[in-house]
């Protein structure tokens, strides 16, 4: 569990200006599911990622609301248009107030 919040982001090794780049991101997280006792769901503060925000040079390009129907160690894929060099940042927010961020530098070759 010590690895909770470890973010891994993969982008293609060579990016040209104007390319539509496909990004794959993974975060280590348990995504706790609803427990049931006698068929009734237990009410407690379940620990799962409920929001994902992707920003590119400070501008938000994608936001996602996620639920426990997303698997453990969630994986997301998306694309973005690389218009300028800079930083792509992905932030994962969970229900216990955790914020896990991963960044990747976008450079043109």
By CB under 8 A, tell whether 108 contacts other proteins.
Answer: no
Q: How far is the CB of 40 from other proteins (least distance, A)?
A: 10
Number of chain positions touching other proteins (CB under 8 A): 41
Q: What minimum distance in Å lies between the beta carbon of 27 and other proteins?
A: 11
- Residue 8-47 contact track with other proteins, rule CB under 8 A, x = bound: ------------xxx-x-------xxx------x-xxxxx
Instruction: Using alpha carbons, list the distances in angstroms from residue 28 to 5, 6, 39, 56, 67.
Output: 5, 5, 29, 22, 15
Among 76, 92, 100, 106, binds other proteins (CB under 8 A): 76
Q: DSSP letter for 85, please.
A: S
CB distance 19 to 41 below 8 Å: no
């Amino acid at each position: 569990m010590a690895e909770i919040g470890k973010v891994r982001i993969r982008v293609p090794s060579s990016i040209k200006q104007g390319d539509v780049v496909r990004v794959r991101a993974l975060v280590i997280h348990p995504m706790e599911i609803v427990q049931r006792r006698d068929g009734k769901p237990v009410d407690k503060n379940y620990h799962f990622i409920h929001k994902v925000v992707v920003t590119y040079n400070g501008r938000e390009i994608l936001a996602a609301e996620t639920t426990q129907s997303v698997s453990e160690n969630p994986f997301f894929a998306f694309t973005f248009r690389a218009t300028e060099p800079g930083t792509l940042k992905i932030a994962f927010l969970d229900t216990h107030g955790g914020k896990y961020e991963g960044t990747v530098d976008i450079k043109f070759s």
